[in-house]
Amino acid sequence: MSATLSAVPDVHIRETECFIDGKWVPAVSGKTFATINPATEKEIAQIAEGDREDVDAAAKAARHAFDTGPWSKMDARDRGRLIYQLADRMENEIDDLARLETLDNGKPLKDSRNVDLPLAIDCLRYYAGYADKIHGSTIPIRGNHLCYTRREPIGVAGQIIPWNFPILMAAWKWGPALAAGCTIVMKPAEQTPLTCLRMAQLAKEVGIPDGVINVVPGFGPTAGAAVVKHPLIDKIAFTGEHRTAQIITRESADTLKRLTFELGGKSPNVIFADADLDAAAMGAYIGLFLNQGQCCCAGSRVFVEKKQHDAFLEKLQRLAENRKVGDPFAEDTEQGPQVDQAQFDKIMSYIDKGRHEGAKCVTGGERVGDKGYFVEPTIFDNVQDDMSIATDEIFGPVLSVLTFDDKEDMIHRANNTFYGLAAAVWTRDISVAHEFAARVRAGTVWVNCYDVFDAAAPFGGFKMSGYGRELGEEGLKAYTESKTVTIAL
């Protein structure tokens, strides 16, 4: 395999500064950092490197827009209309945005264009429709009183997102925040700031008022930490590594911010012997290799019932061996590069560990080409529960196959992880499917499918995979406070 790169088709880089109070401004320090094309390892552009002072300006703008700006007085339905208009604008620019996403992140253009962008637009529309449907209830309390609740916006939302689905993560966070009437200080991932910055400009053009959305690019320990500590920010919504979430929990303690976290996983994907093996092999393949394996919900522990192990593995292996790795802008590419050198190194080190710990690498295991962060689709067979490739989130195209022959034992092993984001089961036996769905400790369970996402369906983790849920009504509520009003009659 080699990764030949064609010339990058025209991609316009327009926004590279901080977006604060409706204006594009350089970082106060004047510093910039490079965002890299992971397919070529070449610099794409220099981006303003935001830090404490920039976050401070953004937080003040967001506070002002929330407390006294036009946003705070706007009718909910008009707020919804602006979110619809942002979605429409993104749809009009879908090809440009998809190319920009692929350039910055490395994911195949086909995926950016046909998966990430449509899901992001759909998410904004889902929440746009919610803006005028957020209400409390009237409650029959004792005595001669009228008691009711109001659902009010939580205030200024600090949002810190990762690089694996840059535009989609921005939409997951902006949609419910804007619908609820919050204002935003977003810090995009340092690896992939470009599409979020572009979205901010589109938001400005459709008329979302100044200060409602602020974007401060920069690094986690500087710009990110400043968002976490800022006293004018009421809530942090974070997606990323659980270790970062632990830091955020500690650093937000002084201001007791509301927290929602969407973190990693080591999700079990369980294949019973009676399953449709072709569908299960495809589900295991997509469930892990989608997005270069850089998915929080990746089905990275595939448990297959022993008597079908060989037949299943043969099908899975064939799929992985035929996966087209290469230039993310090429039409037939299915897998692009990993996002950066750090992720590439982490993945290669886990492949080494897998070999040393005695798992059998049945396909892949090597770098592809010598430029760009390309990794072969890799499958380890004969993986044991305590090997690091079975316990740690690798976040790359590395799939572990484990076997089971006892259902009870398998459920125990599936749950034997500090993560609990997602799980899947493949079987034709409806009782087994429901039993697994009920007993697995995970926020999302897929039965005879994988990676089925919808803006209306809540998503988030049990255990150390997160706090709270995103998407759906639960995702919206995480941007509201409940207020109880009691009136003596």
**Which residue number, 105 or 480, has a Cβ lying nearer to ligand NAI?**
105
CB of 367 to ligand NAI, least distance (A): 17
263 binds ligand NAI per the rule CB under 6 A: yes
Q: Interaction with ligand NAI in 148-207: which residues (CB under 6 A)?
A: 160-162, 164, 187, 189-190
Kindly state the tokens that stand for 160: 């810190």
Strands 145-153 and 480-488: antiparallel
Q: How far is CA 91 from CA 104, 122, 142, 421, in A?
A: 19, 10, 52, 30
Q: Residue 262 catalytic? A: yes
**Which amino acid is located at 489 in the chain?**
L
**Which residue number, 225 or 410, has a Cβ lying nearer to ligand NAI?**
225
CB of 322 to ligand NAI, least distance (A): 26
For residues 103 and 8, the answer to whether their CB atoms sit within 8 Å is yes
Question: Among 262, 305, 334, 376, which one carries the catalytic annotation?
Answer: 262
Residue, CB closest to ligand NAI: 220
For residues 22 and 204, the answer to whether their CB atoms sit within 8 Å is yes
Selected from 66, 312, 344, 395, the binder of ligand NAI by CB under 6 A is 395
**Which residue number, 61 or 236, has a Cβ lying nearer to ligand NAI?**
236
219 binds ligand NAI per the rule CB under 6 A: yes
Question: Among 182, 295, 296, 297, which one carries the catalytic annotation?
Answer: 296
3-state SS, residue 152: strand
**Which residue number, 341 or 486, has a Cβ lying nearer to ligand NAI?**
341
Q: Which residue matches tokens 């995979």?
A: 465
Select the span of 89-97, 236-244, 277-285, 427-435 touching ligand NAI (CB under 6 A).
Answer: 236-244
For residues 485 and 150, the answer to whether their CB atoms sit within 8 Å is yes
Rounded-to-10 torsion of CA 400, 401, 406, 410: 20
Selected from 108, 211, 264, 458, the binder of ligand NAI by CB under 6 A is 264
Kindly state the tokens that stand for 83: 């979110």
**Which residue number, 264 or 475, has a Cβ lying nearer to ligand NAI?**
264
Of residues 174, 181, 223, 215, the one with CA closest to residue 198: 215
Selected from 241, 357, 435, 481, the binder of ligand NAI by CB under 6 A is 241
299 binds ligand NAI per the rule CB under 6 A: no
Residue 107 CB-density burial (10 A; 0-12 exposed, 13-18 middle, 19+ buried): buried
Distance separating alpha carbons of residues 264 and 266, to the nearest angstrom: 7
Kindly state the tokens that stand for 74: 């706007």
Selected from 35, 105, 214, 239, the binder of ligand NAI by CB under 6 A is 239
**Which residue number, 179 or 259, has a Cβ lying nearer to ligand NAI?**
259
For residues 217 and 188, the answer to whether their CB atoms sit within 8 Å is yes
Secondary structure E strands in 275-315: 301-305
Selected from 50, 108, 176, 240, the binder of ligand NAI by CB under 6 A is 240
Distance separating alpha carbons of residues 375 and 349, to the nearest angstrom: 12
Give the interface size with ligand NAI as a residue count (CB under 6 A): 26
**Which amino acid is located at 27 in the chain?**
A
Select the span of 26-34, 213-221, 351-359, 449-457 touching ligand NAI (CB under 6 A).
Answer: 213-221
Terminal Cα-to-Cα distance of the chain (whole angstroms): 78
CB of 294 to ligand NAI, least distance (A): 7
Selected from 109, 117, 203, 248, the binder of ligand NAI by CB under 6 A is 248
Give catalytic residue positions.
Answer: 262, 296
- Binding interface with ligand NAI (CB under 6 A): 160-162, 164, 187, 189-190, 219-221, 224-225, 228, 239-241, 244, 247-248, 263-264, 296, 343, 346, 393, 395
